[in-house]
Amino acid sequence: MSSAVSIGIIGTTPPEVVRALAPRIERLGFATLWINDVPGGDSLAGLRVAAGATSTLGLATGVIPIDRRPVDSLDLSGLPAERLALGIGAGRVTTRPVEYVGAGLAALRGITDAQIIVGALGPRMRRLAAEQADGVLLNWLTPAAGRVTAGELRRDAAGRDDQHSVRSTLYVRTIVDESARSVLDREIGRYESVPAYAANFERLGFRAADATITDAARLAEYVDGDLDEIVLRAMTPSNSLVELEAFVEDAAAWRGR
């Protein structure tokens, strides 16, 4: 199985950069543009800009924390449902997060025909995605761990009454040259300091740095796995348009090897 390859950018990327970058991502044959949702950055607004600049490129949020942005507050206008995947997560909810996301998923089903993706770290949230969502967005997994998780998702989805295929997507921090190494190292350190992620790395038996892409050979390991989609989260020194354009061009060359 060969995974589709997509591009991910941070939600604070300026709209003029998104407008210029999205057509290039589409032209180079990437499947989807994923924009994460962070304080100070609206993923839906970014995707609305990308939608206006493209015609076939998939559009996805990765992910909207619905504790901070409740479902009834989301503005989905101007977003083509046939191209849209709405990624949602629990955010900082610590009491019954699986039930909380399940309720949000059900509410979204009532207002959009877009695909709904659940951001999942642990097995219970992944099971919710397998049983009720259109897909799952995974994070910080090595190619080997991705294969195991993809198999678990297929097993968990096997009993669905609708026989719906659940898409497995893995978000991987990626650099295409050494100028971005310090940015990647800071991201690694940030996640290794989060207790939930630190515990997950310990449970799985690898470090965050082992779940990143820094060259074409490593990308090939991910693409040749059992996951449906690999999202290359673009890590560049300043997130400028010039840097992001170089990133997608180099990533496209890597993918073609």
Q: Where are the domains of the chain?
A: 4-256
pLDDT value at residue 160: 82
d(CA 84, CA 61): 8
When computed from its CA atoms, the radius of gyration of the chain, rounded to whole angstroms, is 17
* Tokens 């997060």, located at residue: 97
Q: Name residue 118's amino acid.
A: V
DSSP string of 217-243, one letter each residue: HHHHHHHTSS-SEEEEEE--SS--HHH
Question: What kind of fold does domain 4-256 have according to CATH?
Answer: TIM Barrel (3.20.20)
pLDDT value at residue 256: 82
pLDDT value at residue 159: 79
Q: What share of the chain is helix, strand, coil (3-state, %, to 5)?
A: 45, 20, 35
Alpha helices for 133-180 (secondary structure H)? 143-157
> Could you give the 3-state DSSP secondary structure of residue 32?
strand
Mean pLDDT by 10 residues, the chain (257 residues): 93 98 98 96 97 98 96 97 98 94 97 97 95 96 96 89 83 97 98 95 97 97 95 98 98 89
pLDDT value at residue 1: 63
Q: Which two tokens stand for residue 63?
A: 């992910």
d(CA 174, CA 37): 18
d(CA 38, CA 5): 23
pTM of the model: 0.96
End-to-end, the C-alpha distance of the chain in Å comes to 16
Q: Which two tokens stand for residue 99?
A: 């039930």
